[in-house]
Amino acid sequence: MEGRGMRTGKRREPHPREAATARMRSSHEAHWLEREPAKRWASNGRWWEWSRRRVWEQGRVTSEANLRTMRGVRRGEQ
């Protein structure tokens, strides 16, 4: 790891050649990449589904309203 992106702090997609080393990154960059899909899909309108699905999987849906909404979306009623 040549410390390239660490000094500049640039958030960039890895070059295809670096696909093997993409796992080995600074924790900051890894943290950023967790959130990246939300930004990338926002324009596609997929962000809402993605975030709700993620929340659902993490078991953070607590209120009944949320549960009802999620069930409706899951069955495709909305």
pLDDT (tens digit per residue) in 10-54? 566 666 666 555 555 555 555 555 555 555 555 555 555 666 666
- Whether residue 78 is predicted with pLDDT greater than 50 in this model: the reply is no
pLDDT band at 65 (very low <50, low <70, confident <90, very high): low
Q: What value does the mean pLDDT take over residues 3-9?
A: 56
* pLDDT at site 70: 59
pLDDT band at 56 (very low <50, low <70, confident <90, very high): low
The DSSP symbol for 71 reads H
The DSSP symbol for 76 reads T
Amino acid at 50: W
Alpha-carbon gap, residue 65 to 6, rounded angstroms: 43
Please give the full DSSP string across 9-68, using - where no structure is assigned: ----PPPGGGGGGTTS--HHHHHHHHHHHHHHHGGGT-HHHHHHHHHHHTT---SHHHHH
